[in-house]
């Protein structure tokens, strides 16, 4: 059987470490039959299969379905240290908070990758014949350091793929042409199991870090989104697009549809054109999801640069599409022009995308993003939901059943249990941050996401006087912040510097306000925060947040929102999941990212914060008010809304509208 697996998956039988972790029954502590079944389906030409191509995948094994291994993993895959910058700085010098946890597979940077990971997990939960394809980033994204008075200092991240549990090197290689050079690419595989371990989806990862390749080629798969060089960016997109098609062929997978998660993978069209012999035929086999309404988010490359990586014939294939804008090629347009299915990631994002790309407007559909329920739900909350299964139904089998939580609005028992579960999560967070004197009875809110201008990371710190006033007159506040700025994004790095300065200014007010800024935001910290703070703050400048997903993770754990009206929130606004504030652009306008509306929107933010802080403390301290409190209602509504904003629903929509795979909940019979 083990031999079968090696044959099916192409695992490198010469790798002695695998001998210990792969047996007839076991794959790194997980059952092996689901792997055999999934591989057989992907190899079977009679079976319809989909490939999901993405530059990044955030699988979060530190918080979900971790593999075990008989061999120890390299320490650099384990120890994680998070420095803190706070307004209790005497503490910061002595303590960082440390976890001895498995480092998350560091092949993602933020929301796009987490969505791709969640998409694969839900595909496995639904037993769909899907294979993911991405890149093995040998140096991850980057390690973040804060320097007071300076901002963010990025540092190279290191990890060891060879000893990472569940990641298997294959004895399979592909070749791709980059300029005049033929690069050799090694394939790896990682299996993404369903929540109940009955099904899997394989993720194939491509790696150019081989001795046979010259230095420049080896470093192609070093760092995700390294952006100082156009040729490297083009070569990476060539690897992702063209390489993915070759990698799937190399493994013998019979793929019917290639789903491009963002335009990074658009060059797959070149290879698929060769396979299907015409643009029309190739397009039938490609689907595409667009993830950004921000101009800089659309990849554009100069023809002359493309000509240095692609050969004449290949370049010609894309020059004859409508992706050409003068001397540059727009990969978003390339993807739109060469696919049979296009979707935006929230209703509002659909409207904006149709305005930005009027030529394709009839074809741009919308499938709203979600999060993977089982990855993001905390244990205490899951236990409460299990206790009320009679009303809620089997929410594991179908997370959409969480909508039934709305029926429990009248149940004092449920509200009591929900509150207690939340307090348990919050207590855990306070324990982890004990040196910073966090208190369980103090109102705690969090802003944690990628630091990008349109997300307005420092809005809450915009007017410190007003913030201090709220904390003094209404009640103390604990604020937790986290997020990485893209290393080449100077403006975002400036935001970090500004935030550090503002936090420092609050030093003398630390009895009323504690602000904690965590370094190295990752999926482990994300799960900790979304489940244990009282309020999730989301204040992007509309309409630039395509969807946003961290708020969905928070509502799943009963954590209400204080948010602007953008992305997914537009669809959630009538669910009663928190407070909505701030500017909204007139319909039919794309918006202006330069005009940040900081004055108006921070005022609106403080007004709402003041009300909601008062509501929180009234709920906490007035016993006779507790069960009537709008706070508890918002918590209940939040979980009910999570019945919609999950990837189980999202993937079901992808499947219904674009993929056309059969989904069966019983294990596939390999014969
Ligand atoms: C969920 C998640 C994100 C995405 O958050 P947004 O709300 O979409 O900005 C980014 N980074 C990490 C680590 C996450 O877990």
What is the reported pLDDT for 308? 97
Q: Are residues 244 and 384 in the same domain?
A: no
Q: Cβ(569) to ligand 1 under 6 A?
A: no
Instruction: Tell me, yes or no, whether 154 lies in a domain.
Output: yes
Instruction: Tell me, yes or no, whether 310 lies in a domain.
Output: no
The secondary structure of the chain in percent helix, strand, coil, rounded to multiples of 5, reads: 45, 20, 35
What is the reported pLDDT for 97? 80
Q: Cβ(449) to ligand 1 under 6 A?
A: yes
Which atom of ligand 1 lies at the shortest distance from residue 60's CA?
A: 15
Tell me the mean pLDDT per 10 residues along the chain, length 671: 70 82 92 96 97 98 93 86 87 77 92 97 98 97 90 92 94 95 97 97 98 94 88 97 98 98 97 97 98 84 97 95 95 97 97 95 97 98 98 96 98 98 98 93 97 95 98 98 90 91 95 95 96 98 96 98 98 98 91 92 98 98 96 98 98 98 62 36
Q: Cβ(348) to ligand 1 under 6 A?
A: no
What is the reported pLDDT for 14? 73
Instruction: Tell me, yes or no, whether 6 lies in a domain.
Output: yes
195 C-alpha to ligand 1 centroid (Å): 21
What is the reported pLDDT for 17? 83
What's the rounded Cα separation, in Å, for the pair 489 and 29? Answer: 41
What's the rounded Cα separation, in Å, for the pair 260 and 224? Answer: 17
Q: Are residues 377 and 258 in the same domain?
A: no
Q: Are residues 258 and 387 in the same domain?
A: no
Pull the structure tokens for residue 272. 């698929």
Which of 216, 247, 263 terminates a domain? The answer is 263
Q: Cβ(372) to ligand 1 under 6 A?
A: no
What is the reported pLDDT for 596? 94
Which of 263, 279, 305 terminates a domain? The answer is 263
Instruction: Tell me, yes or no, whether 520 lies in a domain.
Output: yes
Q: Cβ(161) to ligand 1 under 6 A?
A: no
430 C-alpha to ligand 1 centroid (Å): 22
What DSSP state is assigned to residue 22? B
Q: What total of structural domains would you count in the chain?
A: 2
Which atom of ligand 1 lies at the shortest distance from residue 551's CA?
A: 7
Atom 11 of ligand 1, nearest CA residue: 110
Question: Is the CB of residue 368 less than 8 Å from the CB of residue 56?
Answer: no
What phi and psi, each to the nearest 5 degrees, are found at residue 270?
-60, -45
The string of pLDDT tens digits covering residues 73-131 is: 898 998 778 889 999 977 777 778 877 788 899 999 999 999 999 999 999 999 999 99
Q: Helices 523-532 and 412-432: crossing angle, nearest 10°?
A: 130
What is the reported pLDDT for 171? 93
Which of 232, 263, 294 terminates a domain? The answer is 263
Instruction: Tell me, yes or no, whether 477 lies in a domain.
Output: yes
Largest interatomic CA distance in the chain: 76
449 C-alpha to ligand 1 centroid (Å): 5
In order of 387, 425, 557, 562, the CA distances from 382 in angstroms are: 9, 12, 9, 24
Question: Where residue 504 sits, what CATH number does that domain have?
Answer: 3.40.50.2000
Instruction: Tell me, yes or no, whether 303 lies in a domain.
Output: no
What is the reported pLDDT for 132? 98
Q: Are residues 250 and 389 in the same domain?
A: no
Q: Are strands 561-563 and 578-580 parallel, antiparallel or unpaired?
A: parallel
**pTM of the complete model:** 0.97
Instruction: Tell me, yes or no, whether 340 lies in a domain.
Output: no
Q: Cβ(110) to ligand 1 under 6 A?
A: yes
Q: Which of 610, 636, 585 lies closest to 417, judged by CA?
A: 636
Pull the structure tokens for residue 71. 């061999």
State which residues form the domain around 143.
2-263
Q: Cβ(523) to ligand 1 under 6 A?
A: yes
Q: Are residues 249 and 383 in the same domain?
A: no
553 C-alpha to ligand 1 centroid (Å): 9
Instruction: Tell me, yes or no, whether 481 lies in a domain.
Output: yes
Q: Are residues 618 and 489 in the same domain?
A: yes
Q: Are residues 433 and 582 in the same domain?
A: yes
Q: What 3-state class would DSSP assign to 318?
A: helix
110 C-alpha to ligand 1 centroid (Å): 5
């Amino acid at each position: 059987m083990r031999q079968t697996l090696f044959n099916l998956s192409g695992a490198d039988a010469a790798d002695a470490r695998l001998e210990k972790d792969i047996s007839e029954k076991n794959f790194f502590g997980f059952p092996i039959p689901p792997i055999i079944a999934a591989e057989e389906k992907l190899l079977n030409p009679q079976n319809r299969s989909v490939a999901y191509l993405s530059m990044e995948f955030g699988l979060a094994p530190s918080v979900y379905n971790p593999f075990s291994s008989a061999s120890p993993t390299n320490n650099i895959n384990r120890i994680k240290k998070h420095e803190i910058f706070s307004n209790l700085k005497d503490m910061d010098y002595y303590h960082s908070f440390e976890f001895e946890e498995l480092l998350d597979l560091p092949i993602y940077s933020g929301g796009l990758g987490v969505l791709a990971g969640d998409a694969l997990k839900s595909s496995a939960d639904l037993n769909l014949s899907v294979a993911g394809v991405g890149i093995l980033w040998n140096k991850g994204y980057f390690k973040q350091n804060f320097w007071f008075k300076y901002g963010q200092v990025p540092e190279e991240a290191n990890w060891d793929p060879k000893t990472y549990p569940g990641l298997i090197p294959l004895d399979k290689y592909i070749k791709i042409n980059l300029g005049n050079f033929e690069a050799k690419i090694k394939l790896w595989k990682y299996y993404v199991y369903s929540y109940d371990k009955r099904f899997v989806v394989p993720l194939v990862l491509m790696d150019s870090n081989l001795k046979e390749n010259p230095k420049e080629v080896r470093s192609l798969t070093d760092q995700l989104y390294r952006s100082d060089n156009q040729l490297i960016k083009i070569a990476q997109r060539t690897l992702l697009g063209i390489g993915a098609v070759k990698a799937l062929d190399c493994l013998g997978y019979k793929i019917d549809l290639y789903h491009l998660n963002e335009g990074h993978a658009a060059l797959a069209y070149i290879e698929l054109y060769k396979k299907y012999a015409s643009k029309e035929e190739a397009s039938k086999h490609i689907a595409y999801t667009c993830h950004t309404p921000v101009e800089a988010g659309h990849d554009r490359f100069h023809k002359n640069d493309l000509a240095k990586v692609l050969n004449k014939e290949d370049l010609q294939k894309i020059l004859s599409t409508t992706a050409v804008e003068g001397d540059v090629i727009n990969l978003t347009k390339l993807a739109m022009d060469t696919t049979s299915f296009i979707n935006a990631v929230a209703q509002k994002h659909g409207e904006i995308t149709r305005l930005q790309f009027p030529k394709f407007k009839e074809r741009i559909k919308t499938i709203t993003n979600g999060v993977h329920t089982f990855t993001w739900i905390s244990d205490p909350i899951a236990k409460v939901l299990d206790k009320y299964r009679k009303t809620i139904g089997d929410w594991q089998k179908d997370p959409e059943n969480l909508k039934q939580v709305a029926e429990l609005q009248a149940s004092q028992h449920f509200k009591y249990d929900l509150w207690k579960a939340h307090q348990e999560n919050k207590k855990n967070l306070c324990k982890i941050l004990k040196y910073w004197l966090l208190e369980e009875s103090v109102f705690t809110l969090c802003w944690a996401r990628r630091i990008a201008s349109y997300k307005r990371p420092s809005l809450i710190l915009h007017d410190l006087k007003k913030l201090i006033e709220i904390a003094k007159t209404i009640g103390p506040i604990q604020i937790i912040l986290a997020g990485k700025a893209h290393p080449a994004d100077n403006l975002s790095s400036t935001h970090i510097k500004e935030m550090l300065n503002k936090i420092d200014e609050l030093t003398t007010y630390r009895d009323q306000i504690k602000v904690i800024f965590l370094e190295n935001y990752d999926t482990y910290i994300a799960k900790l925060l979304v489940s244990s703070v009282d309020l999730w703050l989301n204040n992007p400048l509309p309409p630039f947040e395509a969807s946003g997903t961290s708020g969905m993770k928070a509502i799943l754990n009963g954590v209400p929102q204080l948010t602007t009206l953008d992305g997914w929130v537009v669809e959630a606004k009538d669910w009663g999941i928190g407070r909505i504030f701030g500017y909204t652009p007139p319909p039919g306008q794309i918006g202006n990212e330069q005009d940040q509306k900081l004055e108006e929107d921070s005022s609106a933010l403080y007004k709402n914060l003041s009300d909601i802080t008062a509501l929180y403390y009234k709920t906490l301290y007035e016993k006779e008010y507790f069960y009537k409190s709008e706070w508890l209602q918002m918590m209940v509504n939040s979980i009910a809304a999570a019945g919609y904003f999950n990837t189980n629903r999202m993937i079901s929509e992808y499947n219904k509208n674009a993929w056309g795979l059969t989904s069966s909940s019983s294990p596939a019979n390999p014969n």
